[in-house]
Chain A
Amino acid sequence: MFLSSVNGNRGAVLGALAPAGMAATVLYVLFIGLPILALLVRAGQEEGFLAGLTGPLVLQALRLTVVTSVISLVIVVVVGTPFALLLARQGPTSRLLRVIDTFVELPIVLPPVVAGVAMLMAFGRNGMLGPALASVGVTIPFTTVAVIFAQIFVAAPFYIRAARIGFAGVDPAYEEVSQTLGVSPWQTFWRLTLPMARPSLLTGATLAWARAVSEFGATIMFAGNLTGRTQTMPLAIMTTMESSLGAALALAALMLVMSALSLALLSFLLRCRAEASR
Chain B
Amino acid sequence: MNDAAVKGQFSVRVGGFSVELAFAVDAGRVLVLFGPSGAGKTTALRTIAGLARPESGRIDIAGRTVFADNDGEPPCWEPPHRRGVGYVTQQNHLFPHLTVAENIAYGLPDRRGDSAHRRVSHLIDRLQLAGLEDRRVSQLSGGQQQRTALARALAPSPDLLLLDEPFSSLDMELRRSLGAELRAAIRELNVPVIMVTHSREEALALGDAVQIIDAGRVVAEGPPLHVLEQPGQGRVARLVGVENLLRMQVAARLPQDGTMVCQAGERALETPLADGCAVGDAVTVGIRASDIILAAGPLPQSSARNTWAGVVSAVELRPPGYEVALDCAGTVLRCHITGASLDAMGIAPGQPLWAIFKASSCFLLTE
Task: Give A residues with C-beta under 8 Å from B.
Answer: 171, 173-174, 176-185, 188, 191-192, 195-196, 198, 276-278
Contact = CB atoms under 8 A, between A and B. Distances in A.
Contacts of A174: 93, 95
21 contacts: A173-B89, A173-B93, A174-B93, A174-B95, A176-B80, A177-B87, A177-B93, A178-B95, A180-B50, A180-B51, A180-B81, A180-B87, A181-B156, A182-B109, A182-B156, A185-B81, A192-B95, A277-B96, A277-B97, A277-B136, A278-B139
B86 A180 contact: yes
A185 B83 CA distance: 14
Interface string B68-101: 0000000000011111111101010101110000
Nearest to B137: A277
A195 B97 CA distance: 7
Category for how many chain B residues contact A: 20 to 34
Contacts of B139: 278
Contact of A181 (B50, B96, B107, B136): B107
B138 interface: yes
Q: Could you say which of A176, A180, A182, A195 has the most chain B C-beta atoms within 10 Å of its C-beta?
A: A180
Q: Could you say which of B50, B80, B96, B107 has the most chain A C-beta atoms within 10 Å of its C-beta?
A: B80
Overall SS of chain B's interface: loop
A216 to B, nearest CB: 38
Nearest to A186: B81
Given A173-B93, A174-B93, A174-B95, A183 B136 contact: no
B84 A182 contact: yes
A195 B139 CA distance: 19
Contacts of B82: 182
Contacts of A171: 93
Contacts of A192: 95
B153 interface: yes
A222 B84 CA distance: 56
A183 B107 contact: yes
A167 B287 CA distance: 53
Nearest to A195: B97
A184 B83 CA distance: 11
B34 to A, nearest CB: 23
A180 B139 CA distance: 25
Nearest 8 interchain pairs by C-beta = A181-B107, A179-B80, A180-B87, A179-B81, A177-B93, A195-B97, A182-B107, A184-B81
B258 to A, nearest CB: 51
Nearest to B51: A176
A178 B89 CA distance: 12
B152 A181 contact: yes
Contacts of A177: 87, 89, 93
A89 to B, nearest CB: 15
Q: Could you say which of B81, B82, B91, B156 has the most chain A C-beta atoms within 10 Å of its C-beta?
A: B81
Contacts of A277: 96-97, 136, 138
A176 B48 CA distance: 13
Given A178-B106, A179-B50, 4 more contacts: A176-B87, A180-B83, A180-B153, A195-B97
B97 A180 contact: no
A196 B96 contact: yes
B96 A183 contact: no
Given A173-B89, A177-B93, A182 B136 contact: no
Nearest to B79: A179
A191 B102 CA distance: 11
A24 B221 CA distance: 70
B49 interface: yes
A174 B79 CA distance: 16
Interface string B147-162: 0000011011000000
B136 A180 contact: no
Contacts of B153: 180-181
